[in-house]
């Protein structure tokens, strides 16, 4: 069970040295209890206290690492029921299904297509992580061959789907280096599946017909020394499955039930007869509370919106996405190129820089720290005031890069012209377009 702030305080050094960033050990203890601080921030915790506190401050839903390489990812590690309470940490992992009876050439073509599904958005590379290999006919060699081909010839990590322990052993032997997720231990095979997972140090999914059934199985498997489990409460009916996901999250977070303190796996691929419905069900799990979602295929028209939804749900709502303050050269600018200035809200940056790139006009883009606010909001909040912008232009170093003295400010910040002029005497301050879409025309004029 989680410790209270006072219980944590009793285990701290009580020197109030402030090295953790807060004035007192008591304040640190309170932050630790509410999940706002990390234990590692205090360098003076004794080993004995660290053991007790690590246990108590461990996330109520265990983070599980799946895979290896560039698409290695963590699922779980969540600490809140609702995103606005703090943030969700581990984006839902997306998988596509292949049967073990697929021909090698067909699989090669699929992997090539799937690998191309990568999208740049606000400076991030959005892409799916997993391929789920499902035993189609009990043929261990065929299962192993498909798992091996996915693991060795693609960046994708692997979920091995079979309840047959001999087939699972063959699959694990073929791709253990990719740290596959084994799916699934059931009431019938838990001992043998648990032994394979333990021997190979692999994460293991647990499947039961109900949450009660899951609890009994996870207690058995954790008793065998397994820690990295993933839960499948069994239902393939959307409403029941949705309720199960919520019940598991609540039991782990609100009741401190460690037997269900693991991420979940969901199978929209088994719950719909067409791509549209499957995509809607997958979208539901991204919002609540699928740790891994298995689709029947990756298709651009369903994958892209799911990746965007995932990006939005798993972005910290209390921390706007930002880019670093500084000078960004676009289209190889020189000393005669124009200088545009805007705020460091990531979306603003990527939209503005995208339009400048599209214009093909060499341009210097100055990004001023506005604490992640967009132009109008930053101006209204006093984070993009004229004197600030003027001082930033002076300090930015742009003066050494151009031989003219003109900057272009965003149309929505037209009101700051006078103050910028006062801060930058002798400079010409031009008001640019309000909408980013008009930037190319403005630059080319």
Q: Which residues bind ligand SF4 (CB under 6 A)?
A: 12-13, 15-20, 25, 28, 42, 44
Provide, rounded to whole angstroms, the least separation between the CB of residue 220 and ligand SF4. 39
The CA distance from 329 to 340, in Å, is 10
* Phi then psi dihedrals of residue 409, to 5 deg: -105, 160
Give one DSSP letter per residue of 224-249, joined into a string. Answer: TT---EEEE----SHHHHHHHHHHHH
Provide, rounded to whole angstroms, the least separation between the CB of residue 17 and ligand SF4. 4
Provide, rounded to whole angstroms, the least separation between the CB of residue 233 and ligand SF4. 40
Provide the CB-side half-sphere exposure for 175 (13 A, CA): 34
> Of the two residues 36 and 404, which places its CB atom closer to ligand SF4 in the complex?
36
> Of the two residues 21 and 123, which places its CB atom closer to ligand SF4 in the complex?
21
> Of the two residues 44 and 177, which places its CB atom closer to ligand SF4 in the complex?
44
Distance separating the N- and C-terminal Cα atoms of the chain = 66
Check if the beta carbon of residue 348 is closer than 8 Å to that of residue 399: no
Provide, rounded to whole angstroms, the least separation between the CB of residue 327 and ligand SF4. 38
> Of the two residues 42 and 295, which places its CB atom closer to ligand SF4 in the complex?
42
> Of the two residues 50 and 434, which places its CB atom closer to ligand SF4 in the complex?
50
The alpha-helical segments, DSSP class H, found in 182-234 are 190-200, 211-223
> Of the two residues 8 and 292, which places its CB atom closer to ligand SF4 in the complex?
8
The CA distance from 97 to 183, in Å, is 13
Provide, rounded to whole angstroms, the least separation between the CB of residue 2 and ligand SF4. 18
The CA distance from 54 to 22, in Å, is 20
The CA distance from 202 to 64, in Å, is 10
Sign of the C-alpha dihedral computed for residues 171, 173, 178 and 184 taken in this order: positive
Provide, rounded to whole angstroms, the least separation between the CB of residue 407 and ligand SF4. 45
The CA distance from 170 to 71, in Å, is 23
Provide, rounded to whole angstroms, the least separation between the CB of residue 53 and ligand SF4. 11
333: tokens are 């600018």
Provide, rounded to whole angstroms, the least separation between the CB of residue 16 and ligand SF4. 5
Q: Is 395 exposed, middle or buried (0-12, 13-18, 19+ CB in 10 A)?
A: exposed
> Of the two residues 5 and 411, which places its CB atom closer to ligand SF4 in the complex?
5
| DSSP H/E element including 282 | helix 275-287
Check if the beta carbon of residue 357 is closer than 8 Å to that of residue 365: no
> Of the two residues 19 and 422, which places its CB atom closer to ligand SF4 in the complex?
19
> Of the two residues 20 and 214, which places its CB atom closer to ligand SF4 in the complex?
20
Given the DSSP bridges, would you call strands 363-368 and 326-330 parallel, antiparallel or unpaired?
antiparallel
Check if the beta carbon of residue 268 is closer than 8 Å to that of residue 278: yes
> Of the two residues 17 and 308, which places its CB atom closer to ligand SF4 in the complex?
17
Provide, rounded to whole angstroms, the least separation between the CB of residue 24 and ligand SF4. 6
The CA distance from 365 to 379, in Å, is 18
Closest CA to 406 of 314, 311, 338: 338
> Of the two residues 15 and 255, which places its CB atom closer to ligand SF4 in the complex?
15
Cis peptide leading into residue 184 (ω within 30°): yes
172: tokens are 């694990």
Provide, rounded to whole angstroms, the least separation between the CB of residue 36 and ligand SF4. 13
Provide, rounded to whole angstroms, the least separation between the CB of residue 316 and ligand SF4. 24
């Amino acid at each position: 069970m989680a410790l209270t702030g006072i219980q944590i305080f009793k285990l701290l050094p009580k020197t109030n040295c402030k090295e953790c960033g807060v004035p007192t050990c008591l304040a640190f203890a309170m932050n630790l209890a509410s999940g706002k601080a990390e234990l590692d921030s205090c360098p003076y915790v004794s080993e004995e206290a660290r053991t007790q506190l690590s246990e108590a401050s461990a996330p109520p839903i265990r983070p599980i690492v799946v895979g290896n390489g560039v698409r290695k990812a963590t699922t779980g590690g969540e600490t809140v029921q609702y995103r606005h309470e703090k943030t969700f940490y581990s984006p839902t992992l997306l998988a596509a299904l292949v049967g073990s009876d697929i021909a090698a050439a067909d699989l090669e073509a699929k992997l090539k297509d799937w690998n191309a599904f990568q999208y740049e958005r606000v400076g991030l590379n959005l892409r799916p992580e997993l391929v789920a290999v499902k035993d189609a006919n009990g043929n261990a060699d065929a299962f192993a061959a498909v798992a091996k081909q996915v693991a060795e010839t693609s960046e994708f990590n692997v979920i091995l789907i079979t309840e047959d322990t001999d087939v699972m052993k063959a699959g694990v032997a073929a791709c253990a280096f990719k740290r596959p997720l084994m799916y699934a231990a059931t009431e019938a095979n838990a001992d043998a599946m648990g032994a394979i997972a333990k021997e190979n140090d692999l994460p293991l999914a647990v499947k039961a017909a109900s949450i009660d059934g899951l609890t009994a199985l996870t207690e058995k498997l954790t008793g065998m020394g397994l820690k990295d489990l993933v839960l499948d409460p069994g239902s393939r009916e959307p409403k029941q499955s949705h309720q199960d996901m919520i019940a598991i999250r609540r039991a782990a977070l609100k009741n401190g039930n460690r037997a269900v303190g693991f991420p979940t796996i969901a199978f929209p691929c088994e719950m719909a007869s067409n791509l549209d419905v499957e995509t809607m069900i997958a979208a539901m799990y991204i919002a609540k509370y699928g740790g891994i979602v298995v689709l029947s295929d990756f298709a651009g028209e369903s994958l892209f919106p799911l990746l965007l939804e995932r990006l939005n749900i798993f972005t910290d709502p209390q921390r706007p996405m930002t880019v670093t303050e500084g000078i960004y050269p676009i289209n190889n600018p020189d000393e005669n190129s124009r200088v545009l200035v805007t705020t460091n809200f990531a979306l603003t940056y990527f939209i503005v820089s995208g339009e400048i790139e599209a214009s093909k006009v060499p341009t210097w883009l100055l990004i001023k720290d506005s604490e992640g606010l967009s132009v109008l909001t930053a101006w209204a909040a006093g984070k993009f005031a004229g004197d600030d912008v003027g001082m930033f232009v002076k300090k930015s170093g742009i003066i050494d890069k151009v031989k003219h003295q003109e900057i272009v400010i965003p149309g929505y910040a037209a009101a700051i012209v006078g103050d910028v002029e006062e801060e930058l005497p002798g400079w010409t301050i031009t008001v640019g377009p309000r909408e980013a879409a008009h930037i190319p025309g403005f630059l080319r004029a």
